Structure 1
């Protein structure tokens, strides 16, 4: 469970709201809500790593199901559950159907990722991003034209903006200030300034996640074509979002970076 993220427990049968309760939840979760066969939970804030809140769910037929509500694990690839389907018999048709749907969704995601990786293997922009991230800037056509830095309670960010031949690049050096939580990126978006249309950006990093106290490098390369909108030059916004969904960096890229 994660702060301000609603988690729904969905059961096969209706839930008895009078006999469904949490212990020691005050100040940490909103009062639970029961809607037919669903129990809705919402933490007020992130639970501490050692916290576990007991929950007893009683179905209308008298069946009792016990849970321990815990925060997500500290790995960057773990996410808080938003809906959990609970089945009495894992071999029932409903349980098997639910498992099949999850498997099909995961397979579709993996297929899309494999196709993206194959495309990136032959991408010039990704090759340039790899060289920059590894520190081999001399082997690229880029020259630094701007620098800036930022800081919040979770991380410091030092950025360099580069101008190249028909391409622009950004290098971010990120230091994780959190004493426990690894830093990771959930997404990067490149959008036009006026209309918010998404543009392609090549990304390479030296990390999967950044350990507490450590630093990592992220390199991003943008092609000249991204700066064109209906035949006219436009500025771009590069947005970097971290593991908790908050925006870590916002960088404006202007057409002069790719002008001859």
Structure 2
């Protein structure tokens, strides 16, 4: 067994997306229910450069009395279109930036918002309900509750299946540094650094009985300000892009800035190389939340793994 290989000759070729330097954010839609209490906190609206954020209300807005303070040179003019208000910054804001937006509805009610930014997401659409008891607000709450119930049912079903999965059990042990409690043997290790500050150490492992492959990713977030979160992982055949099943376990959901580290472990059956055209290489892809692109990907060669 070789413990470490130079980056260019390693079995695990770790590629880090060059576009990772771009401060891309994930668009989201959410609902805001306002309070009539005088001390209620002014809600924030999170925007991204050259992207339109839509605030949607139950009543039309008053174009003449809807305005944002200090927007000149930083935003396109705020637009009222029926029941919608459109906000578009000319470039990204910093999280410490804040602009006061006052939306006046057709009934004269004034609604203040703080327009700002956050690192990983921005508001594509914000549904605003000034009155929590209107028919629209109650319907929105009911729809959310039903959607949340479906999500929880799906998650519970997935957890039940994973609880009886050998691959998930093995991945959990590897993520917790319990290699000796598994049948896996280390094959190769490779190290790469991301321009945004992520340091990724990848270890490939195999076992004969059962005939499986594992990848353990030790990730350290060296960014001084940004959190690293895994949005999705995929195992695909090189060339065709056909996806393969695998089990994944991680020590945490996100990695805080300033050097926080943790592990992601992936386990799959070696027969993943045998489907259809029998690809010689599989690709493990990692998608970081907020970027929308592959943050890193790892090539796994069946022959160099000894399969």
SS in 1 for 2:254: coil
- Aligned counterparts of 1:17 and 1:257: Cα–Cα separation in 2: 66
Secondary structure of 2:126 counterpart: strand
| Cα distance change, pair 159–30 in 1 and its aligned pair in 2 (3 A) | farther
Say whether 1:178 aligns with 2:226.
Answer: no
CA distances 1:164-209 after superposition (whole Å, capped 9, x unpaired):
3322111111111122333221221222222323322211122232
Partner Cα separation in structure 2 for residue 27 and residue 162 of structure 1: 55
Matches within 5 A, 1:66-81: 66-72=112-118, 80-81=122-123
Partner residue of 1:191? 236
Deviation at 1:126, TM superposition (A): 0.8
Q: Is the 8 A contact 2:218 2:261 kept in 1?
A: yes
Q: Which residue of 1 aligns with 2:181?
A: 139
**Which residue does the alignment assign to 2:82?**
36
Going from structure 1 to structure 2, the CA distance change for 1:132 and 1:51 (only over 3 Å counts) comes to same
Q: Distance in 2 between matches of 1:85 and 1:174?
A: 37
Aligned residue for 1:19, secondary structure, equals coil
Unaligned runs of 5+ in 1: none
Determine the structure 2 residue equivalent to 1:164: 207
Given that 2:280 and 2:303 are in contact with CA atoms closer than 8 Å, whether structure 1 keeps it comes out as no
2:237–2:279 Cα contact (<8 Å) kept: no
Number of equivalent positions: 256
**Is the 1:164–1:257 contact (alpha carbons within 8 Å) kept by the matching residues of 2?**
no
Contact 1:168 1:257 in 2 (8 A): no
Does residue 295 of structure 2 align to residue 248 of structure 1? yes
TM-score normalized with structure 1 length: 0.85
Change (3 A) 1:65 1:254: same
Q: Considering only aligned residues, what root-mean-square deviation do their CA atoms show, in Å?
A: 2.6
Shift in Å at residue 107 of structure 1?
A: 1.5
Structure 1 residues 109 and 31, CA, compared in 2 at 3 Å: closer, same or farther? farther
Mean CA deviation greater in 161-170 or 24-33: 24-33
Structure of greater relative contact order (alpha carbons < 8 Å, 6+ residues apart): 2
